[in-house]
Structure 1
Amino acid sequence: MADVFTTRTLDIPTGSAETVHDLTAACAEFLDQTAHGRDGLLNVFVPHATAGVAVMETGAGSDDDLLSALHDLLPADDRWRHRHGSPGHGRDHVLPALVPPHATLPVIAGHLELGTWQSVVLVDTNKDNVNRQVRLSFLG
């Protein structure tokens, strides 16, 4: 049985532009304060209907490549039935079906076990919501 379950909510200002926001350092800091060298799981959850969490390489153009691919898959035009907010906002409500609002990641000896080039990111294409919350939960 797990010894600890701890949750913290981060407030992330994403601004009014589409963004891929790196959460890796915030996840590491949370684990430094809560995991105390234990093995376990880190759950990253975005409690929003128009944002997601991904594990991917950041930098070297990957962030922009993801946003470009999402534009190709989910164009910001008037095809969407969900029609409040900015033009094309309905696509933002489809995003979590492609980029889920959560990720559960291994923690070994208190450290996030990611691959060499992997980062944990918040993916937000909703220009109408300039602030996001991300819930980090450690079970270990």
Structure 2
Amino acid sequence: MVHIGGMESTLISVRTGPRPAVVDLTTRCGRFVEDRGDGLLHVFVPHATAGVAVLETGAGSDNDLLTALDALLPTDDRWQHRHGSYGHGRDHVVPAFVAPYTVIPVLDGQLALGTWQSVCLVDTNSDNQDRSVRLSFLAG
């Protein structure tokens, strides 16, 4: 845990697996802000091939997102960035569509998310299955 002025920050590890994945981080984010009062939670993934999204999970939207990314950014040989597995260049374009960060309001130590919203790591890169996510809380 790092404390800088009114901000507290920590780095968590997330294993995404050998296939593109949407990993729900909501519980871990909720634990981090618990009992911290009001403020903002900044969620950042310090990787060139992953992003953070706020979306519904468990009802198919997570798979729909991966399907949409596949349709928009196919895994083929069109990419100039060519190291890694076949089509890996597209993974480096994903953060332009799924930003590597999000900010969530925190009220009374709880994430102020909508009923069906979850905070998720979006990772299409099967070459790197271990990810770090930085959680930073700025008190209000």
Q: TM-score, normalised on structure 1?
A: 0.94
Distance, in Å, in 2 between the alignment partners of 1:118 and 1:32 is 18
Q: Secondary structure at the match of 2:10?
A: strand
CA deviations on 1:13-46 (whole Å, 9 max, x unpaired) are 111111000000000011116x1xx210000000
- Residue 41 of structure 2 corresponds to residue 42 of structure 1: yes
Aligned to 1:109: 108
Q: Where do 1:119-138 residues align within 5 Å?
A: 119-138=118-137
Which 5+ residue runs of structure 2 have no aligned equivalent? none
Q: Where do 1:89-104 residues align within 5 Å?
A: 89-104=88-103
CA deviations on 1:50-109 (whole Å, 9 max, x unpaired) are 000000000111111000000000000000000000000000000000000000110011
CA deviations on 1:94-131 (whole Å, 9 max, x unpaired) are 00000000001100111100000000000000000010
- Residue 11 of structure 2 corresponds to residue 12 of structure 1: no
- TM-superposed CA distance for 1:4, in Å, is 2.7
Aligned to 1:75: 74
Dislocated runs of 4+, deviation >4 Å: none
What is the root-mean-square deviation of aligned Cα atoms in Å? 1.3
Q: Secondary structure at the match of 1:67?
A: helix
- Residue 27 of structure 2 corresponds to residue 25 of structure 1: yes
Distance, in Å, in 1 between the alignment partners of 2:104 and 2:31 is 15
Which 5+ residue runs of structure 1 have no aligned equivalent? none
Q: Which amino acid aligns with 1:46?
A: V
Q: TM-score, normalised on structure 2?
A: 0.94
Q: Which amino acid aligns with 1:76?
A: T
